[in-house]
Structure 1
Amino acid sequence: MGPEALIRALARPAPASSDYDLNPEVVLPPGRKLRAAAVLVAVCAGPGGPSVLLTKRASGLKHHPGQIAFPGGKIDAGDASPEAAALREAHEEVGLEAGLVTLLGRLPVHETVTGYTVTPVLGHIRGDFATRAEAGEVEEVFRVPLAHLADPAQFRVERRMWRGQWRRYYAVPYGPYYIWGATARILRGLADRLAP
């Protein structure tokens, strides 16, 4: 699956997503203030087929320690756009040079339970590059085959107690990696658009 298939998927209409999608009983307060963030959904070419670049966050972090995430973070005042923020963060977190990335477009924004509105930026990485995990922030950089993440059958709905209530969420485990929450929800949206 090359960039053309990804561009075709982007052309399919899709709604914004949220960590609350599977929890319709939650009523969100109107006028809530969300912080802007961006992530890079980086599809890498490779001899074994395309894969998606993901990180395992360092276990000592205050927020989301040890969780699987896309490279990304808050949009800073100096970032010209969500794309600029996603590329900056990817360079900082995994050593990805912006010149290796062909930006294909944006996926629908995603609201997190932690108060962010995340813009996922879809990019295609041309060629190979040596990853470099940012010390103190990223424990591991790894890739998951796009074929696994593009298959809706690989996703399941799970639940856990959060702030005194059961919260349902998507998960798409791969080997030793437990991919869940916002990352899995964004990937599920992409899988739905890639489905024939």
Structure 2
Amino acid sequence: MSSGTAGSGGAVGAIERDGLPEWLLPVRAAAETVRPEELSNFLPPAEGGRRSAVLMLFGEGPTGPDLLLIERARSLRSHAGQPSFPGGALDPEDGDPAGEGPVRAALREAEEETGLDRSGVQVFATLPDLYIPVSRFVVTTVLGWWRHESPVSPVDLGETGAVFRVPLADLTDPANRARLKHPSGHLGPAFEVGGRLVWGFTAGVIDRVLHFSGLEQPWDRGRTLTLSADALDLSARKGS
């Protein structure tokens, strides 16, 4: 893992609450008070699971506040082709999974996948751990503010198919919101943004963060989508 800092002068893995733009304060407040069961029905088992972390990185682009997302490579065995937060499994070098390990892992993975300069990221909160049953990941979502932006793009096309930023205005636009019915019968939130369908774990976290931050706008919960044949084929792979 390369050296660096998180935010302005803080050590890698440190959480810095202060110095955020005003529009991010409700997000920080929600992250600090939300309970696991308010985020998902899928909570970590008492034992087992693969520890992992993702980076929910908020920036401010030309069109205003946004989120950094990636599209996972179509060749992967787990969650192939899906838009997601940068992230991945914890490595021993990341440290204690119950301590700063998830923050270190989220920043490291984001750097490895997008070329992000982690020294420009201020980590301001983490969400309670959640569980992805199909891949057995116990996931910590790390929330960051992109204080000093850096160029980003896929580092390894075998891992990351695309890197893109989604304006929060698009994510909160009722016209872009729906619920997606998976072949398993599960019904979860989805976002049609930038020509992509964001669904699954990532959409679920975005949905709950918008809701508990007070950023959500009323939308048609009766609007239901299904996965395309291509997405179904990718999601049928082991671990998707």
TM-score (normalizing by structure 1): 0.84
The superposition leaves residues 135-175 of structure 1 with CA deviations (integer Å, 9 ceiling, x where unpaired) of 1111100011123334678542221213xxx2222211213
Give how far 1:77 is off.
Answer: 1.2
Give the 4+ runs in structure 1 shifted more than 4 A.
Answer: 150-154
Corresponding residue number in structure 2 for 1:111: 131
The answer to whether the 8 A contact 1:43-1:124 is kept is yes
Q: Aligned partners of 2:31 and 2:80: how far apart in 1?
A: 31
The answer to whether the 8 A contact 2:36-2:130 is kept is no
Code of the aligned partner of 1:168: L
TM-score (normalizing by structure 2): 0.70
Change over 3 Å in CA distance of 1:54–1:151 after alignment to 2: same
Corresponding residue number in structure 1 for 2:191: 172
The answer to whether the 8 A contact 2:68-2:85 is kept is yes
Is 1:139 aligned to 2:154, yes or no?
Answer: no
Give how far 1:78 is off.
Answer: 1.1
Corresponding residue number in structure 2 for 1:69: 84
Q: Which runs of 5+ in 1 are unaligned?
A: 22-27
Change over 3 Å in CA distance of 1:115–1:4 after alignment to 2: same
The answer to whether the 8 A contact 2:26-2:214 is kept is no
Change over 3 Å in CA distance of 1:73–1:35 after alignment to 2: same
Structure 2 counterparts to residues 91-130 of structure 1, below 5 A: 91-113=111-133, 114-130=135-151
Q: Aligned partners of 1:86 and 1:97: how far apart in 2?
A: 12
Give how far 1:9 is off.
Answer: 2.9
Change over 3 Å in CA distance of 1:150–1:103 after alignment to 2: farther
The answer to whether the 8 A contact 1:150-1:190 is kept is no
How many equivalent pairs are there?
186
Q: Which runs of 5+ in 2 are unaligned?
A: 1-21, 96-100, 216-240
Corresponding residue number in structure 1 for 2:204: 185
Q: Which structure: larger Rg?
A: 2
- RMSD over aligned Cα, in angstroms? 2.3
